[in-house]
Chain A
Amino acid sequence: MLEDRTVQPTYKLDKGEKRFIGWHLIVAIIALTIGSLFGPLQAFDHAGVDLYGPLDFLLDPSRGYYQGLTIHGVLNALIWTTFFITGFLTLTVIKGLGRKLAYPWLNQLGFWMMVVGLLTAAVPLVITNEATVLYTFYPPLEASSLFYIGLTLVVVGSWIEGYGMYLTFWKWRKENPNTRSPFVTFAALVTMVMWQVATLGIAGEILGMLLPHSFGWFGGTDPQLARTLFWFTGHPLVYFWLLPAYLSWYAMLPRQAGGKMFSDSMARLAFWLFLILSVPLGFHHQFVDPGVPAGWKFIHALLTFGVAFPSLLTAFTVVASLEYAGRRNGGKGLFGWLTKLRWSDPSVAAQLLAGILFIFGGIGGIMNASYNINLALHNTTWVPGHFHLTVASAVTLTFIGISYWLVPYLTGRALWKPKVAVAGAWIYFVGMLVFSNAMHVVGLLGAPRRTPLGDAPYIPGEWAGHLWRVAAGGLTMWIGIMIFVVVIVATVFAGRRLGEGEEIEIPIAEAIEDPQKTPVWLDRWRPWLIATVVIILLAYGPQLYEQIFNAQLTAPGITP
């Protein structure tokens, strides 16, 4: 008789494990604090107000906007995310399996490698102004070698943390051959494996082209190939961000809202689909590239519609879990349950608001992916409008929500002023709605992204109203982030110590149906891994072969 594993896992993390996870959050939240500082500066620039003056001591005045934008993108989109994710997933592996990490030194090695990488990249990024290349670092724009080395160490460090997680799971699997892997651990492993496969693109780009070129071993790079390799990673990067948020929405938020996980099987299916479909469609970021054939772009557009499917599935399964919770709490009628979802819990509120914003982010994403529709959208402000609804909302606001129970859990202190935390989430939500809507609209009117619009001579006066809404929204969002930071710092240093019996429980939702009844094919890795590799070979093989074997390393690097 299989053990009923649907009850709350009882393993208690020890101080060392909590500290390890805590370090991830410290780096992540510091990165977010610094990175988001540049947001309002950029937003006000768009409205024609230059606030960079006071930062002249730090940024190179002639390109303060771009250096700030690079710092904003790297710290928010790469560092805040990667460190939070690896920390959070370490927790779900340990707690889900109910055991210590198999080789804690391995995970530690990975983490500290990421820290060394971050500090290495920070030197040119912040101090010597030799990495003003934005988070996409497209050649021929060239940054200091330290920038590329630093990013490489961050990525390789994250791989190593993944290896520590896989080995832990493998040990558990040998001891438990017939038990379904706990969902929260399963989801973590899928995320890390997908990331391992995805990062092969930028690994090839940096180690095969950009770093040797920065050392002077090659006379130039092939910029089209660089883009193809970057976006091989760049699209699944967004799923590296999203899947941990989905993990919380599927398996934790329902419990926090007072309910259960609607369908363990559908959740697993969605994650497997993300594993096989996240990578083989990067050309949708390259729809208007000159060196990629239209036919391949079209195929990747169709594949992108394919990866939209598990997100649409997620919408149903997650909302159904919430409806279950709301009805259990007494909600009546078609929508009464919405108001019965424990909105006063800051963690719940932040995640629900994140989900609402993601509705618009996901819709915009499907539009970006629609092949020739991209002609109306590419490199306009629509694009950052879109990705603020996704990485800066679905992901960031969810990670903020998770922090609101995770930090008390790790520190043993009660969350400082939960009502302020809830207000902060709503402030961020409103700011994001205003900001992103304005960015989408003015983008359709033709405003370019990655441009200090306050300087651009071709901006028509009619855009002023939209650009002021960008500024207002951006400032409001920043206030929301600062409230989060203040609440966390206050909790860590001044939060009321929790007593016996008050300890925070890691919220893991019980599934409505017994996970042991989930079909075996949803818990076996080999077929899905094979499918992952095969689809990537089919979707990318011919073009990668073509672009690599016909590469012309003839475009010399130029320092911006």
Chain B
Amino acid sequence: MTVEREPEKFKPKGTWVFVIGLAVLLFVLWLSVYLILLGRGVNT
């Protein structure tokens, strides 16, 4: 298999999109439980 690119020119674009998706997923899931927490009321 011939190497398509020189290593130094490799740009991880797919990785970039993947980690952005990861951040979005993290944020949305976290927020959904945060809202559940707020819905259960004050405890002090």
A and B touch in the complex (CB under 8 A): yes
A359 touches B33 (CB 8 A): no
A375 touches B43 (CB 8 A): yes
Name the distance in Å between A172's Cβ and chain B's nearest Cβ. Answer: 28
- In the assembly, what is the distance between CA of A323 and CA of B3, in Å? 13
State which of B5, B22, B30, B43 has its C-beta within 8 Å of the C-beta of A327: B5
Binds B, one of A159-167, A362-370, A407-415, A518-526: A362-370
- In the assembly, what is the distance between CA of A531 and CA of B36, in Å? 38
A315 touches B22 (CB 8 A): yes
Given contacts A258-B1, A319-B18, 7 further A-B contacts (CB under 8 A): A315-B19, A323-B15, A335-B14, A335-B17, A370-B34, A375-B37, A375-B43
- Most chain-A Cβ atoms within 10 A of its Cβ — which of B14, B34, B37? B14
Q: Which of A382-418 contact B (CB under 8 A)?
A: none
Name the distance in Å between B22's Cβ and chain A's nearest Cβ. Answer: 6
B10 touches A324 (CB 8 A): yes
- In the assembly, what is the distance between CA of A528 and CA of B28, in Å? 35
The chain B residue sitting closest to A376, CB to CB, is B37
The chain B residue sitting closest to A512, CB to CB, is B7
B1-15: CB near A (< 8 Å → 1, else 0) gives 101110110101111
Q: A366-B30, A512-B7 are in contact. Are A373 and B12 (CB under 8 A)?
A: no
Q: A327 — which chain B residues lie within 8 A by C-beta? A: 4-5, 10
Name the distance in Å between B24's Cβ and chain A's nearest Cβ. Answer: 11
Q: A469 — which chain B residues lie within 8 A by C-beta? A: none
B33 touches A367 (CB 8 A): yes
State which of B18, B33, B34 has its C-beta within 8 Å of the C-beta of A444: B33
The chain B residue sitting closest to A262, CB to CB, is B12
A328 touches B1 (CB 8 A): yes
Is A105 located at the chain interface by the 8 A CB criterion? no
A303-337: CB near B (< 8 Å → 1, else 0) gives 00000000010011001100110111110001101
Q: B18 — which chain A residues lie within 8 A by C-beta? A: 319
Q: B34 — which chain A residues lie within 8 A by C-beta? A: 370, 373
- In the assembly, what is the distance between CA of A366 and CA of B23, in Å? 12
State which of B1, B4, B14, B37 has its C-beta within 8 Å of the C-beta of A323: B14
- In the assembly, what is the distance between CA of A324 and CA of B5, in Å? 10
B26 touches A363 (CB 8 A): yes
The 8 A-B residue pairs with the shortest CB-CB distance in the complex, in nearest-first order = A320-B12, A320-B15, A319-B15, A512-B7, A323-B14, A363-B26, A376-B37, A334-B14
B4 touches A328 (CB 8 A): yes
The chain B residue sitting closest to A258, CB to CB, is B1
By DSSP majority rule, is chain B's interface helix, strand, loop, or mixed? helix
The chain A residue sitting closest to B17, CB to CB, is A334
By DSSP majority rule, is chain A's interface helix, strand, loop, or mixed? helix
Q: A262-B12, A328-B3, A337-B14 are in contact. Are A363 and B36 (CB under 8 A)?
A: no
- In the assembly, what is the distance between CA of A512 and CA of B43, in Å? 53
- In the assembly, what is the distance between CA of A15 and CA of B12, in Å? 41
The chain B residue sitting closest to A368, CB to CB, is B33
Name the distance in Å between B33's Cβ and chain A's nearest Cβ. Answer: 6
Name the distance in Å between B9's Cβ and chain A's nearest Cβ. Answer: 11
Q: A372 — which chain B residues lie within 8 A by C-beta? A: 37
Name the distance in Å between A138's Cβ and chain B's nearest Cβ. Answer: 24
- In the assembly, what is the distance between CA of A370 and CA of B35, in Å? 13
Q: B3 — which chain A residues lie within 8 A by C-beta? A: 328
Name the distance in Å between A294's Cβ and chain B's nearest Cβ. Answer: 10
Q: A315 — which chain B residues lie within 8 A by C-beta? A: 19, 22
Q: A338 — which chain B residues lie within 8 A by C-beta? A: 14
State which of A316, A366, A376 has its C-beta within 8 Å of the C-beta of B36: A376
- In the assembly, what is the distance between CA of A315 and CA of B19, in Å? 7
- In the assembly, what is the distance between CA of A320 and CA of B3, in Å? 16
Q: Which of A222-274 contact B (CB under 8 A)?
A: 258, 260, 262
The chain A residue sitting closest to B29, CB to CB, is A363
Q: B10 — which chain A residues lie within 8 A by C-beta? A: 324, 327, 512
A334 touches B36 (CB 8 A): no
B37 touches A373 (CB 8 A): yes
